[in-house]
Structure formats: C-alpha cells, structure tokens
Amino acid sequence: MKKVLPFLLSILMTSCYTFGQNNDYSSQIDRLIKTTHPRSFNGVVLLQQNGKIKYAKAYGYTDFNQKTPVKISDKFSTMSLAKQFTATLILQAVDKGLIDLHTPIRKYLPDLKYSWADTVTMHHLLNNTSGLYSEDMDKPLKFKPGTAFSYSNAGYAVAGLVLEKQSQKTFNQLVTELFKSCEMKNSFYPSAASKKQLVKGHTVKKDGTFSLNDQVRFEPDQYWGSHLIVTAPDLAKWNECLHKGKLLKPATYQLMTSYVITNVHQLFSEKPIGYGYGLRINDQDRILEFGHTGFHPAAGFTAVNLYYPKSNTSVIVMENQANENFEIAYYFEKEIREIVKKSSLLN
C-alpha cells in the first residue's frame, strides 16, 4: 500500500498538470490578451477545428480615438497573407494549363524591359527565390534565381501580371470569384466601398505613442502580395477550402506545400523552415504547421494565419496595429501559437 499511494499521487499530479497545461487554452488566451507588457493587444483571435469555432474573442478598438470596440466580424487587412491567395490563383491557372511554373516569364511578358525576365520563373517568384528586391524591380538581382531566399513583394506583383494576362481576368475578378467559391462572404478585393468597412490601422511607435491611419496607402499593383480585406471567420473558411482539397488538384497542392528553400522567421523558430508557394512550411517541429504572417508598421496591421493539417485546426490572429519595435511586433501572435501548440487541440 505504501508503494501504491505515491504512485497514485504521481498519476493524479500528472493529470492535473496535463489538464492545466493542455486543456485550459481559452482562459490562458483570455489572460494573455489583457496584459499590457511588453505591449497591449488590439484585434481578434479565432481558433477553429473541423469547421467548429473553439475560441473567438475581440479585444480593443477599431479606432483608438473613438474607442469603438472591435468585433470578431470586423474586417482587417491581410497584409502579406495575400500571397497565399495569389499563389492559389496562379496554381489554379497551372492546373488549367495556362501557366508553366518553370518557364521564364519572358514567354508571358515579352515586353517586360528587365533582362532578368529571361531567367526568372513563376516558381522563383512564388517561393521568393527570384533575387528581386522587396519593393524594387529596377535593381539588379541580388543573386542567381533559385539559389537563395529573399522576400519580395515586387516578385508577387510580377507574378500577378502574368496571371492577369494568362487568365484574361483582373485580380479583382479573380479574388472575388475565389472568395465566393470559399463562401467568404465578408471578404473583399480593396475598392472604394470595401475600404470604408476596414477597421482603422494604427502605427505604434517605439515611445508608446501611436498614429492613426485613415487609409491603407497601397496601390493595386501591391495588392498581390500585401493587402486584401478579410475577416477572421472567413480566413478559417479559407483554410478549410484550401487545405481540404476544394481549390487545387492534389499534385498542385503538394507543390504549394512543399519547399526547396528555407528561411528563418521569428514567429516560427530560430531555425530555418521551408517556404513553399505563399506559405511557410514548418516540418521541423513535432506537429506539421503551415502558415504565414503579415506586418506593415506604416499601414498599422499585423496578421498571422496558421493551419495544422493533422487536426484540421486554424489559428488566426489579426490586429489593427503594428509596432515599430519589431522585437515585440509578434509578441501576442507568438504566445497564442505556443498556448495552442501545448493544448488539447493539437495533442
């Protein structure tokens, strides 16, 4: 009996610890988003598994001056989450035989004035190995295409030009059709009307003060990689649509979620992980993770969209603020990710 009692106590303590660590994600996130150090949270958090919402909270304001409360249904900018929509549209064109991923884009854009069009392919543009600078097409390439990783919004703009030409549709038309096919009824291509529905973005400066951005100052040629208008619930629908085989042929989806290049991003790990087509592929941890981030201090938005295929779980965090201190820019996104990864949702 003396030997059994410590054993039973050990089991009980382990069970209590497991419950506290793994099953209490809701209260942990509740406490987290109310903290103010090292910064405050302002936005929405949504967790969904197998089509059912497991957690959905809005915290803070749509406008820091007016103090209008944020709602889970509010519309945010995707920032760079837009890349996975663009990549999917391009891969749909691949499925239709309109685009070849490994043909130099000169074939599609013969009048493009840059010599790099003779060597850069859609594959290079989609996985950020083109060598193009982030915002400038005029500079010489950083490296030989395919040999290194360099994040490039300009690369996605070029990819978008090819897509529009080969599909004979505008990005507006393509995005609208894509959102409709995924029943994303509250998400839009930026227009005069939809921009009015967007929550205000806020730039939080290093001294703690903020500036309110009445408009997101992006031009249409930047929308390919930097700005669409979505809600968190619609992003969860998107994950279901993309990752459950409703948009791409299996072989093409496999291309999107595979990688030939790696890169470090502070949200995911200190070690390099893969970059596919508009998605980061983290197969270095015990749980396979697909995801992407969006961040733009001048626009005032921060976004993270994560998907765990084994459990069909989405983790979405969208803030209408962006902190100029990059060391804490993704603080809440990282902490929420860690809470979920230790929870019963993924274990």
Radius of gyration of the chain (CA): 21
| Mean predicted confidence (pLDDT) in 81-106 | 98
% the chain with pLDDT above 90: 88
Give a yes or no: residue 64 inside a domain: yes
**Is 18 a member of any domain?**
no
Domain assignment present for residue 198? The answer is yes
What is the per-residue pLDDT across 123-142, written as a single tens digit (0 to 9) for each? 999 999 999 999 999 999 99
List beta partners, residue 302: 295, 319
**Residue-range definition of the domain harbouring residue 58:** 26-341
What's the rounded Cα separation, in Å, for the pair 161 and 163?
Answer: 5
Let me know: does 296 contact 32? Beta carbons within 8 Å: no
Instruction: Report, as an integer, the average pLDDT of 310-338.
Output: 97
Total of domains in the chain: 1
Q: Residue 347: inside a domain, yes or no?
A: no
Q: Which two tokens mark 262?
A: 């790696």
Q: Please, which residues have CB within 8 angstroms of residue 195's CB and are 6 or more apart in sequence?
A: 215, 216, 229
- In this prediction, residues 232-246 reach a mean pLDDT of 98
Asked, for residue 2, whether it belongs to a domain, the answer is no
Asked whether residue 5 is domain-assigned, the answer is no
At residue 4 the predicted structure's pLDDT band, cuts being 50, 70 and 90, is: very low
Q: Rounded to an integer, what distance in angstroms lies between the CA atom of residue 181 and that of residue 189?
A: 14
Distance CA 96, CA 73 (A): 34
Q: What are phi and psi of 59, to 5 degrees?
A: -145, 125
Predicted local confidence at residue 177, as pLDDT: 98
pLDDT tens, residue by residue, 160-216: 999 999 999 999 999 999 999 999 999 999 998 888 999 999 999 999 999 999 888
Contact 121, 103 (CB under 8 A): yes
CATH number for the domain including 213? 3.40.710.10
Q: Is the residue at 34 inside a domain?
A: yes
Query: Which alpha helices (DSSP H) does 128-185 contain, by range?
Result: 153-167, 171-181
Select the highest-mean-pLDDT range: 17-26, 71-80, 217-226: 71-80
Residue 6 placed within a domain: no
